[in-house]
Amino acid sequence: MTPQRLAIVDEIMSTEGHITPQVVAQRVKERIPGVNVSTIYRTLELLESLGIVSHAHLEKGPEYHRKGEHEHVHLVCSRCGQEDYLASDQTAPLQELIVRHKGFKADFTHFAVAGICADCQRRAGT
């Protein structure tokens, strides 16, 4: 394992919650100025293929977190960007409905539900 890859893994594993590839790059470059952004993306892909991290597609782009750390569905306000989540056990009825629909098993850890938060709805009078 190269020093660059080791620094990337260390950054991911020491971060609680989500982290973007851009933030990983910024933090790792503080320690190892010459690290290439493509190395960061390849390392994230490797970690995901090994089942160590998972990613979600949020409006700002992909964010990574340690697999199993936070099994949840992301809720993102399209107006203000506020992020919230539902724990995976709260989504069980929706997961069951989707399974009943031709046996499809959804992976809620890879996407976000976009919408309008309660604060933005109140401000807009809706």
Please, what are the domains in the chain?
Answer: 3-66 (1.10.10.10), 72-124 (3.30.1490.190)
pLDDT recorded at residue 19: 85
State phi, psi for 10 to the nearest 5 degrees. Answer: -60, -45
DSSP state, 68? T
pTM of this prediction?
0.65
Mean pLDDT of 48-67: 77
Residue pLDDT, tens place only, 16-47:
877 889 999 999 999 999 898 899 999 999 99
Question: What rounded mean pLDDT belongs to the chain?
Answer: 85
Mean pLDDT of 66-91: 80
